[in-house]
Amino acid sequence: MIDHALEQRLHTLVDVFLEENAKVNLSAFRTPELCYEGNVLDSLPALEIEEIQKLKEGDALLDIGTGGGFPLLPLAICLPHVRFVGMDSTQKKLDAIGRIVTALELQNVELVCGRAEELGHDAAHRAQYAIVTGRAVAPLNVLLEFAAPFTKVNGHVIAWKSMHLQEELQESLRARSELHCHLTRTHRYSLSKDFGERQLLVFTKTSKTSAEYPRDIGIPKKHPLL
């Protein structure tokens, strides 16, 4: 699936990323091996998902809470025809990603600083994305409140999660129904060594999100939909 040239690009990403990570704390994976496995290879299983494979030229994908740029950057490298937007509330992380994007000459990545609770009401972003992704951002019920407003009707939210998800899934029932996000697929994958088995959860947004969501800054986390 990943040819040699792409693999080289992904290793270059790790080199440039680790230089930035030495200046700004972006990730706990500080060796090339750990960073490749734990950040790059953990981002790529999304390429096996039909909804990602169907993305056409000009479709847009938003990565919420992109932090140091995962899954944003590996996916942007592998899917140059798709428009990628990385969003985070911390400007200095986005500045670091901006330098990585420049070093790799990525033409399909934009960065937006702000809180999901605010940007989710901004017409420039609301209901504008075919796919919204989130890795290590929040529990499902909170992540769906952040992500659903940005997603187009019939678009998808993809969450990176561990295999121990029973309780979190149960606690997301109200959010799923209130935000019209239905779990349509789970995709399990394995990474080597201590990383083990993980999964991607794919939700389909079936109707428009009510104007009351997302709620004000801090509220989704403090009072998750339960």
Binding site for ligand SAH (CB under 6 A): 27, 65-68, 70, 87-90, 93, 115-117, 135-137
Residue closer to ligand SAH by CB (options 27, 207) is 27
CB 23 within 8 A of CB 32: no
DSSP labels, 78-99: H-TTSEEEEEES-HHHHHHHHH
Give the span between the Cα atoms of 154 and 137, in whole angstroms. 23
The residue to which tokens 């040699």 are assigned: 4
The residue (of 75 and 82) whose beta carbon lies closer to ligand SAH is 75
Q: What is the DSSP string of 165-207?
A: -HHHHHTTHHHHHHTTEEEEEEEEEEETGGGEEEEEEEEEE-S
With beta carbons less than 8 A apart as the criterion, state whether 55 and 131 touch: yes
**Closest separation in Å from C-beta 86 to ligand SAH:** 9
Q: How far is the CB of 4 from ligand SAH (least distance, A)?
A: 26
CB of residue 139 vs ligand SAH: minimum separation in angstroms?
12
Amino acid at 131: I
Please report how close the Cβ of residue 26 comes to ligand SAH at its closest, in angstroms.
7
Task: Report, in Å, the least distance between residue 114 CB and ligand SAH.
Answer: 7
Q: Which is nearer to ligand SAH, 90 or 128 (CB)?
A: 90
Task: Find the shortest distance in angstroms from Cβ 120 to ligand SAH.
Answer: 9
Q: Which is nearer to ligand SAH, 20 or 117 (CB)?
A: 117
Q: Are 5 and 100 in contact (CB under 8 A)?
A: no
CB 144 within 8 A of CB 175: yes
Specify the residue, 15 or 118, whose C-beta has the smaller distance to ligand SAH. Answer: 118
Q: Which CB atom, from 25 or from 154, has the smaller least distance to ligand SAH?
A: 25
